[in-house]
Every structure is written in structure tokens, then in C-alpha cells.
Amino acid sequence: MNNSEIELLVRQILEGMQGGENKSSASGGAIPEKARVAMLVEKGRFEIQEHKIPEVGDDDILVKVEGCGVCGTDAHEFKNDPFNLIPVVLGHEGTGEIVKMGKNVLKDSAGKPLKVGDKVVTCMIFGDEPEITMYDLNKQNVGKADVYGLLPDDDVKFNGWFADYILIRKGSSVFNVSDLDLDSRILIEPCAVLVHAVERAKTTGILRFNSRVVVQGLGPIGLICVAVLRTLGIENIVAVDGNEKRLEFAKRMGANYTVDFRNYKGAEALGQAVYDVLGGHYADFGFQCTGNPVAHANIYKMIRRGGGLCELGFFINGGDATINPHFDLCQKEITLVGSWVYTLRDYATTFDFLKRAQAIGLPIKELITHKFPLEEINEALKTNLSMQGLKIAVVNK
């Protein structure tokens, strides 16, 4: 017998001796017959519905949801349904506690043991490609895989993290993150986006310790970008936005300089402002973190000849950007990379980024400015759309 077969046999014996350890949660209390989901039933309206919790198969995991961040993708779906998913249970930045497991589930996607009571997050679902592992994906992002929180409604119902429970099915990636607190776990998914973006930037060979870097757009994504750069030891960071509170927060996250674009008219003037605050230098590298095509066009003016740019702001079709290929790209020999979601390896790396950011005193968890209970999810999404605060979260009591 191999090690996996031995582990499975031992587990089955222990379960039999304990009368079925998976029938109740480690934190106490029986698993209810029914639980709530927040079903987006039409544009702009979630409905709290109660459904029977499905049976947990041999390869499944039932998780009691503790919290889930509200992503810009959730807000777009709530407002306009661009993915034609309605009805759907949204929420993909979630985390919770394992309360029941199938007998075949022994380890997470990184090989770490799993048991009832562990805290977990999910990444992607590879139902159609079961042979893919995190080690195969070092050079391939996970944009073509399915994700909990963006699954069409079906008989399971518990398909997203905006719910009391979620059923993690066979073929899913899942990670044991019991060593992280709740707020850190809620931030894992958006932080992974930036870990991946910085890894993409590093492939250009331009981003170094002494690089001068400009980050444009200081929503949660841009602010996390500043933090990732700072944890890598990059000292010269200028943050660009038009919101005074976000500019101030960027300094706390590690930016040395800030530029308020409201004070400058036109891309040339904005580029000159970056040049001035960097002591007579344009940026060696830029990260464009907004979904605004005008912002994309502007950032070329902030980057030096031979510099680099990572575009990561467009998670939906935000329209076309107008640049001058001669002056903006060719003459300056800009190295441009795009970034889209993350690889599974990036996801695992993010756990250590969060620990490192907190160890050096970055206020990463203060990104979460608003918390709503599940029954107030409509208000949570409206708060996100109104750009109040930074990261909005739905947290179960």
C-alpha cells in the first residue's frame, strides 16, 4: 500500500470509531437541514433564500461561511449582469470553516492535511481538467477555469460565498489557511491578483529593488499593489489618484510620494508631476490599476524610455484606449505586460505576503472598512458601487 492508501484506511477506521466525526462542526452545533443563500434574482436585487443543504459526497467539503469580500466583479454583476448569470449566488473572496468532509478528502491543493475545523479558501475549479495541479500552472493563469461565486445556479444552490454554507466539490482547489485571521483570509483573493501582477512585471527584467515605480488608481487593487511592492523592498513608489483619503492611505501602505490628478490638466502635465516628485526622473515601471481607458493612455507619459508597464485594471470590457504608438510605445521602447487573475502558485504565495506585510507594519487589514451581515447584502453592494470606503465585506456572525 502507498502512503495515500494508508492515510485513507486510517481515516476510515477513525471515523468508524468516532461514529462519524464529520456530522457536526468542530466549533459545536449540528449542521442544519437548511441554510441561507443570497441569490441575485435581478439586476440590483439580492433575495435571501433558504435551501436544503446538499449531501456531501466522498470528494466534497462542506464549509460554514465566515466572511467574503465584495469584489468589483460582484458589483458589475449586481448592477448590469455582464456575464448573464442571473439567477446566481455571488461571492468569490470567501473563507470559512470545514464542518463536513467526504472520506476521500485528505489534503489541500498544496499537500497540507485537511480536517474538520480547519479554515479554508478556494481558488478555481478544474472539473474539466482534473490533472492540473498548482505546479503545472507556474506559467499559466487560471482565467479559463470556473470559480465559486460565478457559477450558474443549479440544484446545489450553495455555489457562492454569499451564503451561510458553501459546498466545495470534486475538482476544486482548496487551501488550508488556519494560521491566518478572518480579515486576512478575506483579503487573500484580491492580494493574489497583485502578487501575480508583480510576478508578471518581474518577467520584464526591469523591476528591481532600486526601481522608481508609479501606481495609478488607488482602489483596493492599487493600494494592495503598493503594499506588495513595499514588501519586496522597493523604496521609490509614487501613487496617483484623485481621492485624498486614498492618497493618504497609500502612504501608509508604503508609497513615498503621491500625485492628485485633479490638480493637473492633461496627460503631459500629469506625467510632468510624476517626473517632478521623483526628483527629475520618470518612473522605471508603472502599474495601471484602474478600469478607465483614459487612465491607461495617461500612464505612458509617466514612464521613462526603456521602462515597463503592467496593465491589470480591466477585469471587464471598459472600452478602447487611445495611445500614440510612435511616441508612447515604439520610440520609448516600453515593455508592456498584461496581468489577469493569478496562478495557483501565486495564490499560495499570497499567504506569505500577507504575513510579511503585517510583520513590517503595513495596515493591510484596514483595507476592510465596512462589514455587513448577509441579510444586508444589497446595502453592501450599493456601498461598494458608491465608492464609500475601500474593501466591503459580508461577514456572518
236-241 β-sheet, strand order: 257-260, 236-241, 212-216, 283-288, 303-311, 335-338
Please list the residue range(s) of the chain that carry CATH number 3.40.50.720.
191-338
pLDDT at 17: 41
- Mean pLDDT within 17-21: 39
**Beta-carbon neighbour count of residue 209 at 10 Å?**
9
pLDDT at 9: 53
Task: Reply yes or no on whether the pLDDT at 297 is more than 80.
Answer: yes
pLDDT at 314: 85
- Write out pLDDT tens, residues 173-189: 999 999 999 999 999 99
pLDDT at 21: 41
Does residue 185 or residue 313 have the better pLDDT? 185
pLDDT at 316: 76
What are phi and psi for residue 75, nearest 5 degrees?
-65, -40
Mean pLDDT of the chain: 90
- Mean pLDDT within 196-214: 96
Percent of the chain with pLDDT over 70: 88
Report d(CA 387, CA 42) in Å as an integer.
22
pLDDT at 153: 95
Task: Reply yes or no on whether the pLDDT at 230 is more than 50.
Answer: yes
Task: Reply yes or no on whether the pLDDT at 74 is more than 80.
Answer: yes
Give the class (CATH, top level) of 191-338.
alpha beta
Task: Reply yes or no on whether the pLDDT at 130 is more than 80.
Answer: no
Residue with the three cell numbers 490638480: 263
Please list the residue range(s) of the chain that carry CATH number 3.90.180.10.
15-179+363-395
73 Cβ contact partners less than 8 Å away, ≥ 6 residues apart: 92, 150, 315, 316
Lowest mean per-residue pLDDT among 234-248, 262-276, 290-304, 310-324: 310-324
Which residue intervals of 3-107 are DSSP H helices? 3-17, 72-80
Contact call for residues 125 and 59 (beta carbons, < 8 A): no
**Beta-carbon neighbour count of residue 147 at 10 Å?**
20
The domain defined by 15-179+363-395 carries CATH number 3.90.180.10: yes
Contact call for residues 160 and 151 (beta carbons, < 8 A): yes
Q: Which of 56, 42, 59, 65 is nearest to 160 (CA)?
A: 65
- Mean pLDDT within 192-196: 96
- Which segments of 294-386 are extended strands (E)? 303-311, 335-338, 368-372
Largest alpha-carbon pair distance within the chain? 73
Task: Reply yes or no on whether the pLDDT at 127 is more than 70.
Answer: no
